[in-house]
């Protein structure tokens, strides 16, 4: 998956990170917090800061300890909540670390690590969205397909 953009949900003003299959047409919207949205946007836009933010600190800590973020996996969706994990390569093997998807994505963008979403999550997310109003889903898909950077509001990329 790649970070396609960040938008504000027009109903709740909550930030939504939009992931898209690298060579596909499947979109995965994940509602996140404002601080995490800001962290993702800053990393995607390459904003330089004088002092490390939390996600920078974690990335630098992993590197200083001899590790490397192999990938982020969004592996489960339970009762509307996404679950993610960091897979960190170390000298003794791969470590699996539980993480919120928003934090995992912010770290992945900084580490230039791939973001994976399981087929089960994608299928569950599509099933959940189909249970909602079909016209809303179609409008979101159409808008995302045609969205330009200037359409993404204060989180433009």
Domain count, the chain: 1
Q: What Å distances lie between residue 85 and 3, 54, 74, CA to CA?
A: 17, 17, 7
Sequence-separated (6 or more) residues with CB below 8 Å from residue 50: none
Task: Indicate the pLDDT class of residue 12, thresholds 50, 70 and 90.
Answer: confident
User: What is the domain-level CATH number for residue 10?
Assistant: 3.10.690.10
Look up the pTM and report it.
0.81
Give per-residue pLDDT as tens, 87-97: 999 999 999 99
What residue numbers bound the domain in which 18 lies? 2-155
Give per-residue pLDDT as tens, 69-87: 999 999 999 988 999 999 9
């Amino acid at each position: 998956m790649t970070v396609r953009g960040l938008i504000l949900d027009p109903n709740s003003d909550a930030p939504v990170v939009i992931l898209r299959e690298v060579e596909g047409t499947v979109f995965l919207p994940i509602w996140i917090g404002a601080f995490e949205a800001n962290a993702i946007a800053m990393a995607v836009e390459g904003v330089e800061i004088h002092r490390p933010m939390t996600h920078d600190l974690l990335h630098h800590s992993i590197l200083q300890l001899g590790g490397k973020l192999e990938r982020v996996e969004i592996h489960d969706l339970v009762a509307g909540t996404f679950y993610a994990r960091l897979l960190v390569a170390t000298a003794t093997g791969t470590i699996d670390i539980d993480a919120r998807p928003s934090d995992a994505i912010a770290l992945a963008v900084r580490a230039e690590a791939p973001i994976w979403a399981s087929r089960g999550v994608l299928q569950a997310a599509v099933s959940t969205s189909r249970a909602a109003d079909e016209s809303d889903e179609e409008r979101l898909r159409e808008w995302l397909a045609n969205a330009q950077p200037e359409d993404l509001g204060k989180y433009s990329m």
